[in-house]
Amino acid sequence: MLDEARIGPVYLRQPRIADMVVDALFHTKKVLQQCTIHAFAVMPNHVHWLATPKVPLSQLMRTVKSFTARKANLMLGLTGTSFWQDESYDHVVRDSASVERVRRYIEQNPVRAGLVVEAEEYRWSSAGGLTKGQAAGHRPAPL
C-alpha cells in the first residue's frame, strides 16, 4: 500500500521536495561523513535507504529526519505538522548477497508502484542516479 501511495501525505511526489531529500541523504555522506550510501528510493510518501552508518543509527536518522522535516515544512508552508513518522523501520543487512538483494528491492520499488517502467527512469533513486535519471547529480557507493 505504501508503495502505491494510497495512504498518507504524498509531499515527496513534488520534485523540489524529493530533490531536497536526496540532497540531504548525500549531505550526510559527503559533508557530515555519517554514512556510506548503497541504495535509495524517494517514493511519494516514504523513503527507502540502504546505508552503512558511521555514527549511531539513531543519530543518523535524527540528523536526516530533523533537517528534511524543517526544510520540507518551510518549502510547503506548513507549521506544527509532523513531516515524518516518529518511528522508522530498520534492520541489519549482514552480508554482500543480502546487500545486493535489498538494493534490488529498493531500486525496483518505483517500478512495483507503477511510477516507471524501468528502475533507471526514476529520478529519485540510486538506479536513476546512476543513469539518465541523474537523481540530483549524486551517485551511491559501490559495494
Taking CA 136 as the corner, what is the angle to CA 133 and CA 139, rounded to the nearest 5 degrees? Answer: 75
pLDDT band at 140 (very low <50, low <70, confident <90, very high): low
With a cut of 80, say whether residue 8 has pLDDT above it: no
Write down the pTM of the prediction: 0.85
87 Cβ partners below 8 Å, 6+ apart?
A: none
What sign does the dihedral 31-138-6-88 (CA atoms) show? negative
Instruction: Tell me the C-alpha distance between 57 and 53, whole Å.
Output: 6
CATH of domain 11-137: 3.30.70.1290
| b/e code 62-73 from CB counts within 10 Å (16+ = b) | ebbbebbeebbb
Q: Give the list of residues 6+ apart from residue 2 with CB closer than 8 angstroms, or none.
A: 8, 43, 45, 46
Which cell is 50 given?
540502504
- Top-confidence residue, 50 or 4: 50
| Confidence category of residue 6, pLDDT binned at 50, 70, 90 | low
Q: Note the pLDDT tens digit of each residue in 30-86.
A: 999 999 999 999 999 999 999 999 999 999 999 999 999 999 999 999 987 889 988
Phi, psi of 99 (to 5 degrees): -60, -45
Give the pLDDT confidence score for residue 85 in this predicted structure.
87
pLDDT value at residue 132: 42
User: Which residues, in sequence order, are bridge partners of residue 53?
Assistant: 35
Tens digit of each residue's pLDDT (9 = 90 or more) over 75-124: 999 987 889 988 888 989 999 999 999 999 999 999 999 999 999 999 99
